[in-house]
Amino acid sequence: MEIQLSMLVLEVRDLARSIAFYRDLGLDVPDPPPDRPVVVHRMGSGVSLLLTTSFAATYDPAWSRPTGGYQQLLEFYVGDDASVDRIWAELVAAGHPARMPPTQTAGPYAAMVDDPDGNVVLLTSDEAARPMPDGSLRE
């Protein structure tokens, strides 16, 4: 069996604020259950995005929240270059910190913005990141 990335788990400080950000991004994130600080959104690619405020702290006694910089980028394929421009502008207008305006990089046309917890969200029109109808990525 080939190992597959099935879920990306983000430890967030404020669940409602993070849900609002990812909804602003365009994901149909559901409301969390009333008794649990967690929400899961499954994307068409098959990968799920899980937002939680307590998993790591509950199960890993050595866990501590990073205090500076960033360790990962979450790349979201959003379609064409105009979509990168539009979504970046909407997120920045909504008050989310801009990290890189829409730019033609050495690779894809891309922009970066921070989510409420400082995770860097990369918006791209990179065709290589567009999922195939069966959920696989282009080669």
| CATH code for the domain of 33 | 3.10.180.10
| Rounded Cα–Cα distance for residues 52 and 27 (Å) | 16
pLDDT (tens digit per residue) in 14-38 = 999 999 999 999 999 999 999 889 9
The rounded mean pLDDT for the chain is 88
- Residue 137, domain member (yes or no): no
- Residue 135, domain member (yes or no): no
Q: Is the pLDDT of residue 65 over 90?
A: no
Q: Please give the share of the chain, as a percent, with pLDDT higher than 70.
A: 90
pTM (2 d.p.): 0.80
Cα separations in angstroms, 27 against 31, 48, 76: 12, 11, 10
Residue with tokens 């801009």: 98
Q: Is the pLDDT of residue 4 over 70?
A: yes
- Residue 90, domain member (yes or no): yes
